[in-house]
Structure 1
Amino acid sequence: MNPHPPAPTCVRHPQRPTGLACTRCGRPACPDCLRPAAVGQHCVDCLAQDQRSAPQMRTVAGASVARTPIPFVTYALIVANVVIFAITAAQARSLMDNYYGSPLFSRYMLVPRLVADGQFERVIGSGFLHWGPIHLALNMFALWVVGRNLEPGLGRSRYLAVYLVSLFGGSAASMVFQDQNTAAAGASGAVYGLFGAITVLLIRVRQNPNQMLILIGINIFISFSLPGISLSAHLGGLAAGTLATVGVLFLPQWLNARTPEAVRAIGWASIAAVAVADLAVVAAAVATLA
Structure 2
Amino acid sequence: MNPQPPAPTCYRHPDRVTGLGCTRCGRPSCPECLRPAVVGQHCVDCVQQADADVRPVRTAAGAVAPTRPTPFVTYALIALNVAVYAITAAQAGSIADNDRSRLFRDWDLVPPLVGHGEWIRVLGAGFLHFGPLHLAINMFALYILGRDTEMVLGRARYVAVYLVSLLGGSAAALALAPALSSTAGASGAIYGLFGAMTVILLRLRQSPVQMLVLIAVNLLISVSLPGISLWGHLGGLATGTIATAGILFVPEWLRAKTRESARTIGWLAIGAVAVVVLVIIVAAGVQRAL
TM-score normalized by structure 2? 0.95
Give 1:24 deviation, angstroms.
1.7
Give CA deviations for 1:188-246 in whole Å, capped at 9, x if unaligned: 10010001110111111111111111111111122122221111100000000000110
Q: Tell me, yes or no, if structure 1 residue 267 matches structure 2 residue 266.
A: yes
Provide the C-alpha distance between the structure 2 equivalents of 1:282 and 1:276, rounded to a whole number of angstroms.
Answer: 10
* 3-state SS in 2 of match to 1:27: coil
Q: Any stretches of 5+ residues in structure 1 without a counterpart?
A: none
- Aligned equivalents of 2:184 and 2:161: distance in 1? 19
- Match in the other structure for 2:41: 41
Q: Does the Cα contact within 8 Å between 1:8 and 1:28 map onto a contact in 2?
A: yes
Deviation at 1:257, TM superposition (A): 2.3
SS in 2 for 1:35: strand
Distance between the aligned counterparts of 1:56 and 1:264, measured in 2? 17
User: Which residue in 1 is equivalent to 2:71?
Assistant: 71
**Aligned residues with identical type, % of pairs:** 61
Cα shift at 1:2: 5.9
Q: Report the CA distance between 1:141 and its aligned residue.
A: 1.5
Q: Which position in structure 1 is the counterpart of 2:113?
A: 114
Is 1:13 equivalent to 2:13 in the alignment? yes
> Are 1:57 and 2:57 counterparts?
yes
Amino acid at match of 1:14: P
Match of 1:148 in 2: 147
Task: Give how far 1:34 is off.
Answer: 1.3
How do 1:118-197 and structure 2 match up within 5 A? 118-197=117-196
**Cα RMSD (Å) of the superposition?**
1.5
Aligned residue in 1 for 2:227: 228
CA distance in 2, matches of 1:213, 1:41: 50
Deviation (angstroms), 1:263: 2.4
What is the match of residue 87 of structure 1?
Answer: 87
Partner of 1:240: 239
Residue identity opposite 1:7 in structure 2: A
Deviates more, 1:52-61 or 1:174-183: 174-183
SS in 1 for 2:98: coil
Change (3 A) 1:41 1:113: same
In structure 2, C-alpha distance between the alignment counterparts of 1:163 and 1:93, rounded to whole Å: 31
Contact 1:63–1:264 (Cα < 8 Å) also in 2: no
Partner Cα distance (2:61, 2:95) in 1: 40
Counterpart residue type for residue 171 of structure 1: S
**1:74-95 Cα shifts (integer Å, max 9, x gaps):** 1221111111111111111111
SS at match of 1:99: helix
TM-score by length of 1: 0.95
Structure-1 separation of matches of 2:125 and 2:226 = 19
Aligned residues: 289
Q: Which amino acid aligns with 1:159?
A: Y
2:42 aligned counterpart, secondary structure: strand
Distance 1:26 1:134 in 2: 63
CA distance, structure 1, for counterparts of residue 215 and residue 99 of structure 2: 28
- Tell me the SS of whatever aligns to 2:262: helix
User: 1:256 Cα deviation (Å)?
Assistant: 2.2
Contact 1:35 1:44 in 2 (8 A): yes
